[in-house]
Structure 1
């Protein structure tokens, strides 16, 4: 039957702290084989008292004493007969053992000293034990089910051959006396002190495991004259069932050291003002083995070659260096550590540097996955402690932190697994809450640097799922810097902010990772006071803002909002909406001056390869108050896409620069630089004003193409680029300029620069080096594709001018270009400069919208219509296409009428004339459509040739001048459709046909 070793308590006893006589008195419980003390022996070449005798059972030797004390400066050794591996000694008397000299074994056996009344190791005490040593105030050692070796019931004891070396641990059942140490105690192998209470000073070291276990309280102290050192070549266990109380920061050489795992265990929070060095894992545990709590009013430094884990920390500056992972659920930093903490300049993985100073700033400093945990210089006298041999190498450098609170001002949180990192292990960093906010001074900084991911997941609970570095007073907001080699994820309503609510400025937020995802979370800064909000900067390959996520800066008061700068080298995607109860809100990248604020909104810059704004998401700069909105600049080297509306139809996908209702500040300028711009399904780009402020300018530079296609799925939102001054606004609209190679507006897509208010509309300029195509109407037939500059409704402002520079302009199937006034303001001019051609073809399928170019004064408007100016090689209008300064229902389809300075009698020219070639050369007529146009649909361009006179057409329809004399056309004469446009020698234009020869 297998047996185990346990320390048992049978009869409670009161610890007697009075020193016993410096003598050793065997009892008679072992009979004739009792212990024998030889007072004048020589052990290891020096005088000593040698204890022989005892009862041998296999590898075990048993001794029993009434009193066991070692006098000041004396040496007491227990003999080690051949074959003996364990020497078990008990004290059955009523006094504690007082060790003031050297206690040892004359051999390599393990030594057990059992005294229920207590054990005292004085300042000159030492151990000379090559094997293991166990000093305990337990009443008995149990042999599992086979009895026990008892100090309180010696007559019932059984002396067995069981080896207790591997069976003693975790077998302490009850302890009554105390153990006190002020000496320097070292053993070759394992070292255990187990008592009711342990009061430890001095130095304790073991070549193997070191166990310091108290049934009630483990107390550790140091002093300037006497540093405390607990050093283990293996594992170190500090256990106080009710309390562990450590204060070992007075002497810089004090500390707890182990080459193996280090565990501090108690049912209550451990008070641990100390520096810890572990070659294995480090953990704080509850009695049941679950993670426990650490308190350190003066601050702690934990160095571990393995993993570090505990439930919570409360105290001054805490620094953790771990070769593996770090898991801490809650941390509260209550102050700095002015005498014992680290001051250091650290280089982050992105090359920037930060200063760590836990001595002047309340600091949480966690570094996982590091190969540099420092050298335990305080360990001396045992060469094994200088050899780092982990029984199990760390496998991950993950850091998982619950809630971190820095209570005093000017704090600092630094969390990294990139410091002197071990290339074998890597990991992510997960944080629930960090709050370094301050009401009286500067808020604390937050720096997180991860070799893989940074994971910030909200909990949908108040004050949980956040990083706050806010200031509510004159101090500055804290800086927040997140750096990750792979992804930074903010999700589930996580809030990350550095705000100001008073005169202090907010802190900056800097994000840098291979990919950044803001999924239903908020990342930003704001000011609600006199101070300015901090800026937000994101540097990544890929940025995603999803499901109502927000990246923003705001002002709600006098201070200015910060700038937002996004550098996404591959892509930036802003997609969808968020849902909270019955409310929905768009995914958003923005800067904003909010209601009642006087500060300015910040500027927003996005630099990327590809930008996608989809499903109701928005990118915007705006003002609701006195402050101006900032500018919005997008530099996308390949593509910008703005697509669709939100699923609920409440939000268009858009890129906006707005001055909102009741605002007096100006909207900012909007500029997009890209190769291709695609707007589709209700997606919009606009600069608008609803208030007194002016709308900003819109500039689109798309080196290849701009495509504006369709309307939203519900048909209510027009896809387009807009520069508008809305109803009740008094500000002017901004200018709208599109520079591209090819512009396509199709299926209801529009470019619109209009005013509905008192301010003037904008000038609209399109420079398309190859082509402009305006095709069709929306699928429901409500909206024509078009380019418009209008003054509408009760507006008094003038519409702006519309100018198009291109090689080829095509309007087809209802596509339109117009400047118009529906109100008091004047319409602007339309100027078309087309190097090759202008073609206006057909009308919408329902005939409602002709393809055309118009300058109109419509309805009850009092403003003037604008002018139409064309400069092109080819002007083609047919199949319902129109050009005009008004829309008249009697206008003949497929006709073109010019009104030159010298009016022509078109009654004659259009119905009863032809152009006759003459061999004589009295002058010349250039057949042209305002300079080289085709004379009929589909024909080639014409060249000038000489003509003679203009003659009437014979009544039979022939063109021979010899069959009928010239006379004016009369009612009843046939009407012959003109074939071409002709320019006479005096420059007049006519519509006619060529006379037959």
Structure 2
């Protein structure tokens, strides 16, 4: 039997205690009993209330029970005041305030001595017979209040324990521990309005400490209001709940205090009490340790408010609100948990802050709000707002800190639940593993939305499997996740931020805002849908984003079991004003939108200045490889104002891709950048592996595209049915080298796509690089076309522009438009077909220069298909070093070869005879043009270049006799009349024809014959050197070098 019930029975049987000869009239009995009680409970009234002094009656000597009853005191309106020199309740004893009047709403007890109060037993209220009021109890001792392991409350109203030095009332009245007089009648007749901390005590280490079980009736309030109680003035006292429990089902628990002079406001509404704290005044530290439990869960309502400097929730401690098992009703809502700390909030060691609706509850869970300088969660700590098998919505979680939020650590295997949970640490640069989550529970019919999570701070760090997540089942939707960290977010060691829905409702969005975001070691930001609702979108706004070593950003649509009626995957949008870097470091790393259902994957859009992928990093949008039912892949768009680098150096393929499985189509891949680099094993691709088409690839707005050993590809993979996508590259300059490829291919049934290259300045293919459209072996379909337009085109060192069909299908056509020069040195342009019609080649260039065995060819190796036509249009075409132009068909008609040029020169060119095997023409060190075919040869149309051939007759062994060009004497002019002159200009230093001397640009005059019998002498050493001054024409027409006679 509880003490209160027992005492009520005693008082009912011994009503004399309330008569004139009882408690109110037997001073001697009170004194005697009081002395005995003081020895046991150490309750000593002081004399400050004068004639209204409190008195203590012990019932243990009279009735054999360890009970003390406090009587007397000063009644002022709704308030009953008591004042004590010492106030302590011994273990296994009870102390009860007597309530003599129904008008009493508040019983206020102060301690004016210098010692703290120790409540080791039961503290309660005893109503006199006929009294039904439910008074609140205020216990004030500025020296500190300790509740021991066996401490408990037996009151029907609310309870306040405070270390304030005064309780204030409206209009300025105070009930102070320093007051030596009785309180004024008029000013103290209403409810108190504030706690005054005007003095700072210097005793003890904890202002309020609880190791017991303190509880008040449902819907009431329990307040612990502490202050500084410390050995020195520089350290802060704290409120400590050391393994104790505070229970107010559906009521309010509020804990806080000040460690500097100030006033804490108080609002009293019947049995509902609420505090308000001043800004800018130092607060007390608060700690919950050793399994401390603060619980306000009930059928609805139930608030917890913590106002602290530093708050520590450690060693399996719990702050809990929500709806209890089988409780609540439609429209019910649990109360909120509010934590307001000016310092650091630390939650650790499997401790929990939760606001939950338990199984079969009806109503919504409340919110959780934390405001602090920083938040640290570690070793299995959890913040949770959830519905576990009930009907209702989970509450929202809001975390606002000035500094850091850090999550890390795994809970201990000594956790009372037997589970090792991930946990969280929050401080400047520390990390933690915290499930901050708002999920309805698996397996039980429920309906409702999960709440939103809002985290704001300067830094956020998550590690060791820590997670921030929202989850919804059946009829609800997952809430928003909004994370804003002004400086940085670091996620590592399998940490995660996720939003998941299993219901028909669309999930809300995940939003990340920070200057720097780092995902490392399998950390993930993810949204998922397993129900009919669409997955949440992910939006990231940052300056720098680094994803490495298994890190990922993912939005998926997945199915469970045989269900295929699943919603759309979410979109991913990343806005990184500076850079995005994806570094695989050996693990699958990157950005992914995918679907394994009949619905489509979300789109993936990256907006940044520079995007870098390396070491196996992947950016992908598509249908999942895991049992896809045919949903379409999403589009992938990259907008990088400066650079996109796909660097596959090393053994791992680095990929920028879209893909599709099942019966869906892959999405398009769009790159807008000033510079695109695809290096090493880098791949930019669209593919289909099922019954669908590969997406198109578009590269726009670039100054330069460089592909070094990398690939840009659209393909139909083996076993698939569909068409490869088109590839379109728009740039100023395109450079491919070291086996680099731009290709469209089909390995199964379907057509290869068209390749369109528009390069306003240069296209350069070097070292076995290629632009290829292919129908591979055993494939069925058509190879695509290649269209290329540029100012200058260069193919060197085995590079090629190539269309081929090794399976059943026709080759596509090659159309090349070069505004200036096409230069090839061991480079090829060709279309090949194994058993169908050959593709045509049409090249339009200002000048074509073919060197080093560079071929332009169309081949059909078998079948009746004709060889492709070749049309070359240029101002001039020059071919050297075994560069051939061939249009061949093994079983059909050879293709036509047409030269539309005024000038063609082929090194050692000789027309091949009809029927010549073109394979015998390669390696013969001359230029060949051949259009052979088994059914018929194609036509060859060459320009008339005889004028050029006539001017290129072979030169003699000694084309010029230099001795005959120099006269041995000067040239004398005839004194007769001046003859006509003949001037040659514009020779550029070349003679008109072999054998002619160079002609001076100066005029020649009349000359006289050199006398044949003139004595001449050969030049000897020492003779002067006389240089000729011009070219002179003799009367015979011969030109010689000489000078005029002086």
Q: TM-score, normalised by structure 1?
A: 0.66
Q: Cα–Cα, structure 1 residues 570 and 890, in superposed 2: closer, same or farther, change >3 Å?
A: closer
The 5 Å alignment of 1:688-699 reads 688-699=745-756
Deviation at 1:705, TM superposition (A): 1.1
The answer for the alignment partner of 1:474 in structure 2 is: 532
Matched, 1:321 2:399: yes
| SS of residue in 1 equivalent to 2:809 | coil
Q: Name 1:987's counterpart in structure 2.
A: none
1:69 maps to which residue? 70
Q: Given the superposition, is the C-alpha separation of residues 631 and 402 from structure 1 closer, same or farther in structure 2, using an over 3 Å criterion?
A: same
- With over 3 angstroms needed to count, the CA separation of the structure-2 counterparts of 1:832 and 1:199, relative to structure 1, is same
Flag the 1:613–1:93 CA change in 2: closer, same or farther, 3 A. closer
| 2:616 maps to 1:616 | no
Shift of 1:772: 1.1
Aligned to 1:560: 632
Distance 1:414 1:663 in 2: 39
Does 1:786 find its partner at 2:828?
A: yes
Distance 2:723 2:859 in 1: 25
Count of residues in Structure 1 that have an aligned counterpart in Structure 2: 744
Match of 1:573 in 2: 645
Secondary structure (helix, strand or coil) at the match of 2:94 reads coil
Matches within 5 A, 1:248-327: 254-267=303-316, 269-273=318-322, 274-281=336-343, 283=345, 285=347, 290=349, 292-297=351-356, 298-310=365-377, 311-316=381-386, 317-323=395-401, 324-326=403-405, 327=407
- 1:134 is matched with 145
- Measured against aligned partners, the alpha-carbon deviations of 1:383-433 in whole angstroms (never above 9, x if no partner) come to xxxxxxxxxxxx7455667134544235445454538x6xxx665566723
- Counterpart Cα distance in 2 of 1:756 and 1:890: 22
Cα 1:104–1:585, aligned 2, differ >3 Å: closer, same or farther?
same
Q: Which residue of 1 aligns with 2:152?
A: 178
Question: Highest Rg: 1 or 2?
Answer: 2
For residue 813 of structure 2, the aligned residue among 763, 766, 769 is 763
- The alignment status of 1:831 with 2:874, answered yes or no, reads no
Which residue is equivalent to 1:391? none
Q: Report the counterpart of residue 145 of structure 1 in structure 2.
A: none
Q: Which residue of 2 aligns with 1:206?
A: 225
Compared CA separation, residues 71 and 587, structure 1 to 2 (3 A): farther
Residue 531 of structure 1 is matched in structure 2 by 599
Q: Deviations over 1:193-243 (max 9, x none)?
A: 424222254252536366252544332444496446577761352536334
Cα 1:565–1:938 shift into 2, 3 Å: farther
In the superposition, the TM-score normalised over structure 2's length comes to 0.63
1:819–1:830 contact (8 Å) kept in structure 2: yes
| Aligned equivalents of 1:755, 1:726: Cα separation in 2 | 6
Against the structure 1 CA distance between its residues 691 and 296, is the aligned structure 2 distance closer, same or farther, given a 3 Å change threshold?
Answer: same
- Alignment partner of 1:403 is 2:403: no
Query: Is structure 2 residue 474 aligned with structure 1 residue 432?
Result: no
Question: Distance between the aligned counterparts of 1:479 and 1:546, measured in 2?
Answer: 26
Q: CA deviation at 1:899?
A: 7.3
For residue 992 of structure 1, what is the aligned residue in structure 2?
Answer: none
Contact 1:222 1:228 in 2 (8 A): no
Contact kept in structure 1, 2:886 and 2:928, CA below 8 Å: no
Deviation at 1:840, TM superposition (A): 1.5
Q: 2-side partners of 1:92 and 1:735: how far apart? A: 95
Within 5 Å, which residues of 2 pair with 1:528-927?
A: 528-555=596-623, 556-576=628-648, 586-594=653-661, 597-644=662-709, 653-710=710-767, 718-776=768-826, 785-791=827-833, 795-824=834-863, 825-835=865-875, 837-842=876-881, 850=882, 852-857=883-888, 861-878=890-907, 887=918
CA distance in 1 between partners of 2:949 and 2:760 (Å) = 48
| Structure 1 residue 125 displacement after superposition | 4.3
Work out the CA distance in 2 between the residues paired with 1:899 and 1:241: 98
For 1:768 and 1:875, how far apart are their aligned partners in 2?
17
- For 1:540 and 1:681, how far apart are their aligned partners in 2? 29
Q: 1:330 to 1:725 in 2, by over 3 A?
A: same
Deviates more, 1:224-233 or 1:111-120: 224-233
The change in CA–CA distance for 1:531 and 1:413 in structure 2 (over 3 A counts) is same
Structure 2: how far apart are the matches of 1:365 and 1:522?
Answer: 25
Question: How far apart are the structure 2 equivalents of 1:891 and 1:360?
Answer: 78
Q: Secondary structure at the match of 2:702?
A: strand
**Partners of 2:872 and 2:612 in 1: CA distance:** 41
**CA–CA separation in structure 1 for the residues paired with 2:72 and 2:351:** 41
Kept after mapping to 2: 8 A contact 1:125/1:185: no
For the Cα contact (< 8 Å) 2:535–2:569, is it kept in 1? yes
Q: Which residue of 2 aligns with 1:499?
A: 557
Taking the TM superposition and a 5 Å limit, the aligned residue runs for 1:57-456 are: 67=68, 69=70, 73=75, 74-78=80-84, 91=90, 94-96=93-95, 98=97, 102-105=107-110, 112-120=116-124, 124-127=135-138, 129=140, 131-137=142-148, 175-179=149-153, 182-188=158-164, 189=197, 191-200=207-216, 201-204=220-223, 206=225, 208=227, 211=239, 213-223=241-251, 226-227=271-272, 229=274, 234-235=283-284, 237=286, 239=288, 241-247=290-296, 254-267=303-316, 269-273=318-322, 274-281=336-343, 283=345, 285=347, 290=349, 292-297=351-356, 298-310=365-377, 311-316=381-386, 317-323=395-401, 324-326=403-405, 327=407, 328=424, 329-331=433-435, 333=437, 335=439, 361-369=449-457, 396=459, 398=461, 402-409=466-473, 410-412=476-478, 414-418=480-484, 428=490, 432-442=495-505, 444-456=507-519
User: Displacement, 1:95?
Assistant: 2.8
Q: Distance in 2 between matches of 1:432 and 1:611?
A: 32
- Is the Cα–Cα contact under 8 Å of residues 198 and 214 in structure 1 kept in the other structure? no
Counterpart CA distance in 2 for 1:614 and 1:828 is: 34
The alignment yields a C-alpha RMSD, in angstroms, of 4.5
Q: What stretches of structure 2 of length at least 5 have no aligned partner?
A: 9-16, 18-22, 24-29, 57-65, 100-105, 127-133, 165-196, 198-205, 228-236, 253-269, 323-335, 357-364, 387-394, 408-423, 425-432, 442-446, 930-939, 957-986, 994-1046
Distance 2:757 2:620 in 1: 23
The corresponding residue for 1:165 is: none
Partner of 1:11: none
Q: What is the CA distance between 1:186 and its match in structure 2?
A: 4.5
Other structure's SS at 1:368 match: strand
The SS at the match of 1:641 is strand
1:641 & 1:119 partners in 2: Cα distance? 82
2:720 & 2:571 partners in 1: Cα distance? 27
1:853 is displaced (CA, Å) by 3.6
1:589 to 1:912, Cα distance in 2 relative to 1, 3 A? closer
**Residue 611 of structure 1: SS of its match in structure 2?**
strand
Note the C-alpha offset of 1:282.
5.5
Q: CA separation in 2, counterparts of 1:216 and 1:705?
A: 79
Distance 1:895 1:406 in 2: 72
> 1:362-397 CA distances to partner (integer Å, 9 max, x unpaired)?
02413222xxxxxxxxxxxxxxxxxxxxxxxxx745
Greater relative CO (CA pairs within 8 A, separation 6+): 1
- Cα deviation, residue 668, structure 1: 1.0
C-alpha displacement of 1:671? 0.5
* 1:65-102 deviation line (CA, Å, top 9, x unaligned): 994736685422246xxxxxxx6756589333548665
**Structure 1 residue 256, shift from structure 2 partner:** 1.0
**1:319: how far off?**
0.8
Distance in 2 between residues matched to 1:565 and 1:127, nearest whole Å: 66
